[in-house]
Amino acid sequence: MSDTTLPSSAELPLLIERSTFSPIYTLVGTVIVFAFFTAAPWILAASWVSVLSNFFVLLIMATMWNLLAGYAGMVSIGQQGFVGLGAYATLYFAIKGMSPFVAIPFAVLACAIIAYPITYLLFRLRGGYFAVATWVIADSAMLLILTVALLGGGTGKYLPGLTNLSPSELDHDTYLATWFVAFIVLVATYFILRSRLGLVLSSLRDNETAARSSGAKVTSTRRLIYVIAGAGCGAAGSVLAISQPFVQPGNAFSLNWAAEMLFASMIGGMGTIEGPIIGCIIFFVLQQSLQNLGAWYLIIFGAVAVVIAIWQPRGIWGLIRDTTHFELLPVGYRVSASSLGTRRRPSRDVN
Amino acid sequence: MTWANILIQGALIGGFYALFACGLSLMFGVMKVINLAHGDIAVVAAYSAVFLVPKLHVAQLWAFVVIVPLFALIGYVVQRTLLQKAIDRDPFTTLLVTFGLSVVIENLLLEIYSANGQSVNIGELVAKSWQVNSVIYVSYVSLVVLGTAVLVLGALQIFLSRTSSGRLIRAVSDDREAAQLCGANYKHVFGVAAAIAFATVALAGIAFGISTEFDPTAGGINLLYAFEAVVIGGIGSLWGTLVGGILLGVAQQFGAHFNLEYQTLAGNALFLIVLAIRPQGLFGRKVSLNE
């Protein structure tokens, strides 16, 4: 920065823009990606489709956890509670005769409604105490579900309403459900972060005291994000229930969900949209290559996450962005100087 | 008489929770760190008592003689290396690092020792109890654990208020910069606090291994109970932690009296009620909440 002097805005107009490349490319890229993954069941082998389906479930969770911790600064280790509640809400609606696929939005709504009052208890605590309290609530939710005989108690229950589909139809529909939910979650997160709310979140992430004193409504923003993250993890739980399709408390409320979403966001890079995507890809490569070695994939993944948290807290995507100034899904603005006949040169990131 | 039994059994278990919680409370009080791997360290101590101690030709009953100093040393080293690095960044990183450690430890234990239940073998002593009347039995083990908890908390209280090292720890906990200006090496003080915390949690882990069968996944629930005891009693109050532990134990026994499934749920409910009505805990100061 020291060797370049910016010309004054009188001789060179300063442009404030979102991206280094035209938004048309982003749109075209999104359409291509959407078309590819929608057509994937007809293109890829069945084993790949089921891996992708699991990938999208984790991607939903990691994106939601990133929104919660990376942007709103709330480290929750209790999001598996909403995964479980989403799965069980789907099971409940299915038992009452609804198609599990139709039940997804209702399960999401149920999780949002449950998340809202919880914030009034949780927001009395900060930092580490907040984190463990979210775990207590997830644990309580699991223990409550265990006592409901209708939902199969401790042994679990098969999700009804899927028997009229043939196995291959079921695989396709399950995959498409997870992909559509993941796509909606990603697009929604992108637009949330581009909106005014995203601006408040970024200010909160960077300096909470400054954000408060500038009039940002910190608590209500956090509340909204917690509800959104609860609903999103509920959506993940709902599609998880359909893909299993055996719903069992120990699995639906497993702490491993919290661990995986947390590690994926940390390794990929918190506070960026792209980070969790990269983290999830790394996680699945590791899991697939070590799948015969029991829990070692989680041990390695956790150890890498610890190392990254200490020595590279902005994660892999943070490292790439800091060195190349490249953004795949830009949500902030950058100032660039442009003049007649010369190329736009990005000078400083503002996000 | 059943109610008296609920109170007595609850109080006995509460002593165990308090023993678990005092390390958590100390580490939060001194370095503002919530060690999410706290429960897993206890489980590692229990596994060491089962698998490591017999190799040294020491009876498992005397495991604490070996394990407690060993864990104090481990605590000091972990604090000075990994945890200090995380603290230097921010509280956020500390949470992520300790959670990462917790998951890594749990899955390593799972890989090495499998998910089979284990217990620390102390012979016939474990089954012996003092029969008060036809309903109430007081197990010697839980009585000793409660006694140990009171002893450890008392010793910690005296250490923190009467000795110069204890005063140093409190000084660093109150105002790190000011203590540093007076010549205190806060990193060493943090290490000492972590050593004490690890030693007490190792003791709690051995007590846990003696009284129940455990597996690698037991760490999480132990952390939750310890945490609930700390919050119910009031953050930053050592004797509050003992009262919190006992109240938690009584609430759990009360829940279990109606249905065994309600045991943990009743404890969680008490925790949430305290959080709703008196978020600073029963003996806590209001300021201590906003770290």
Q: Can you read off the two tokens belonging to residue B234?
A: 């009031």
Comparing CA positions, the residue from A316, A241, A333 lying closest to residue A277 is A316
Please judge whether B104 and A128 are an interchain contact, meaning their C-beta atoms are less than 8 angstroms apart.
no
Distance between CA atoms of residues A6 and A161, nearest Å:
65
Nearest to A140 among B86, B96, B268 (CB): B268
Q: Is the pLDDT of residue B287 over 50?
A: no
Residue B225 falls inside a structural domain: no
Distance between CA atoms of residues B164 and A3, nearest Å:
55
Tell me the HSE value of B59 on the side-chain side, using a 13 A CA sphere.
5
Residues on chain A touching B33 (C-beta within 8 angstroms): 128
Distance between CA atoms of residues B98 and B30, nearest Å:
16
Please judge whether B271 and A310 are an interchain contact, meaning their C-beta atoms are less than 8 angstroms apart.
no
Distance between CA atoms of residues A170 and B196, nearest Å:
56
Tell me how many residue pairs between chain A and chain B have CB atoms under 8 A apart. 130
User: From the CA of A11, how many Å to the nearest CA of chain B?
Assistant: 43
Residue B228 falls inside a structural domain: no
> Which residues constitute the domain of residue B140?
2-218
Residues on chain A touching B85 (C-beta within 8 angstroms): 310
Nearest to A129 among B34, B92, B272 (CB): B34
**pLDDT tens-digit map of A8-17:** 545 556 666 6
Residue B62 falls inside a structural domain: yes
The DSSP secondary-structure symbol of A158 reads E
Residue of B nearest to A142 (CA): B265
Q: A350 pLDDT band (50/70/90 cuts)?
A: very low
Comparing CA positions, the residue from A106, A348, A88, A69 lying closest to residue A205 is A69
Residue carrying the six token digits 């792209």: A274
The pTM of this model reads 0.87
Q: Does A295 touch chain B (CB under 8 A)?
A: yes
Q: Does A250 touch chain B (CB under 8 A)?
A: no
Residues on chain A touching B235 (C-beta within 8 angstroms): 129
Q: What residues are paired with B125 via a beta bridge?
A: none
Q: When comparing pLDDT for A237 and A245, which is higher? A: A237
**Cα torsion angle, A161, A164, A165, A166, sign:** positive
Please judge whether A77 and B91 are an interchain contact, meaning their C-beta atoms are less than 8 angstroms apart.
no
Residue B272 falls inside a structural domain: no
What is each CA distance from A234 to A106, A157, A226, in whole angstroms?
10, 18, 12
Q: Does A285 touch chain B (CB under 8 A)?
A: no
Please judge whether A126 and B276 are an interchain contact, meaning their C-beta atoms are less than 8 angstroms apart.
no
**pLDDT, chain A, mean:** 85
Identify the H or E element spanning A42. Answer: helix A23-43
**pLDDT tens-digit map of A279-303:** 999 999 998 888 888 888 889 999 9
Residues on chain B touching A147 (C-beta within 8 angstroms): 259, 261-262, 265
Please judge whether B100 and A302 are an interchain contact, meaning their C-beta atoms are less than 8 angstroms apart.
yes
Q: Is the peptide bond before A245 cis (omega within 30 degrees of 0)?
A: yes
Q: A152 pLDDT band (50/70/90 cuts)?
A: confident
Helix (H, G, I), strand (E, B) or coil at A336: strand
Q: What angle do CA A202, A206, A212 make, to 5 degrees?
A: 80
Please judge whether A143 and B264 are an interchain contact, meaning their C-beta atoms are less than 8 angstroms apart.
yes
Residue B250 falls inside a structural domain: no
Annotated domain spans of chain A = 32-254
Residues of chain A with pLDDT > 90, as a percent, come to 43
Please judge whether A313 and B93 are an interchain contact, meaning their C-beta atoms are less than 8 angstroms apart.
yes
The DSSP secondary-structure symbol of A347 reads E
Q: Suggest the residue from B31, B98, B107, B109 to mutate for an interface test with chain A (most A CBs closer than 10 A).
A: B107
Q: Are B248 and B225 in contact (CB under 8 A)?
A: yes
Distance between CA atoms of residues A248 and A170, nearest Å:
20
Sequence-ordered list of residues with C-beta below 8 angstroms from that of B163, at least 6 positions apart, any chain: none
- On the 0-12 / 13-18 / 19+ scale of CB atoms within 10 A, A113 is middle
Residue of A nearest to B85 (CA): A310
Comparing CA positions, the residue from B266, B216, B267 lying closest to residue B17 is B267
Q: What residues are paired with A350 via a beta bridge?
A: A333
Instruction: State residue A3 phi and psi, 5-degree precision.
Output: -85, -10
Q: Can you read off the two tokens belonging to residue A108?
A: 């999401």
Stretch A316-321: mean pLDDT, rounded?
86
Q: Can you read off the two tokens belonging to residue A104?
A: 């997804």
Residue type, B289: L
Sequence-ordered list of residues with C-beta below 8 angstroms from that of B88, at least 6 positions apart, any chain: none
Q: Does A292 touch chain B (CB under 8 A)?
A: no
* Portion 178-207 of A in contact with B at CB < 8 A: none
Residue B105 falls inside a structural domain: yes
Residues on chain A touching B227 (C-beta within 8 angstroms): 129, 132, 136
Q: Does A266 touch chain B (CB under 8 A)?
A: yes
Q: B235 pLDDT band (50/70/90 cuts)?
A: confident
User: From the CA of A305, how many Å to the nearest CA of chain B?
Assistant: 7
Distance between CA atoms of residues B105 and B91, nearest Å:
21
Nearest to B291 among A127, A135, A137 (CB): A127
A157-161, A254-258, B279-283: lowest mean pLDDT where? B279-283
Question: Distance from CA of residue B141 to its chain's centroid?
Answer: 17
What is each CA distance from A104 to A152, A206, B87, B99, B157, in whole angstroms?
20, 35, 41, 31, 54
Stretch A310-323: mean pLDDT, rounded?
86
**pLDDT tens-digit map of B142-179:** 888 899 999 999 999 899 889 998 899 888 888 888 88
Distance between CA atoms of residues B69 and B193, nearest Å:
14
Three-state secondary structure readout of chain B: CHHHHHHHHHHHHHHHHHHHHHHHHHHHHHHCCCCCCHHHHHHHHHHHHHHHHHHHCCCHHHHHHHHHHHHHHHHHHHHHHHHHHHHHHCHHHHHHHHHHHHHHHHHHHHHHHCCCCECCCCHHHHHCEEECCCCCEEEHHHHHHHHHHHHHHHHHHHHHHHCHHHHHHHHHHHCHHHHHHCCCCHHHHHHHHHHHHHHHHHHHHHHHHHHCCECCCHHHHHHHHHHHHHHHHCCCCHHHHHHHHHHHHHHHHHHHHHCCCHHHHHHHHHHHHHHHHCCCCCCCCHHHHCC
Residue of A nearest to B81 (CA): A310
pLDDT of residue B285: 65
Residue B264 falls inside a structural domain: no
Identify the H or E element spanning A58. Answer: helix A46-65
Residues on chain A touching B268 (C-beta within 8 angstroms): 136, 139-140, 143
Please judge whether B96 and A306 are an interchain contact, meaning their C-beta atoms are less than 8 angstroms apart.
yes
Please judge whether A136 and B291 are an interchain contact, meaning their C-beta atoms are less than 8 angstroms apart.
no
Residue of A nearest to B225 (CA): A136
Among A18-22, A174-178, B31-35, name the most confident range. A174-178
The DSSP secondary-structure symbol of A75 reads -
Q: Is the pLDDT of residue B288 over 70?
A: no
Please judge whether A132 and B97 are an interchain contact, meaning their C-beta atoms are less than 8 angstroms apart.
no
Q: B110 pLDDT band (50/70/90 cuts)?
A: very high
Please judge whether B95 and A128 are an interchain contact, meaning their C-beta atoms are less than 8 angstroms apart.
yes
Helix (H, G, I), strand (E, B) or coil at A15: strand
What is each CA distance from A276 to A125, A198, A254, in whole angstroms?
26, 17, 20
Please judge whether A127 and B34 are an interchain contact, meaning their C-beta atoms are less than 8 angstroms apart.
yes
Instruction: State residue A63 phi and psi, 5-degree precision.
Output: -65, -40
Stretch A85-92: mean pLDDT, rounded?
95
Q: Suggest the residue from B84, B103, B111 to mutate for an interface test with chain A (most A CBs closer than 10 A).
A: B103
Nearest to A309 among B32, B93, B289 (CB): B93
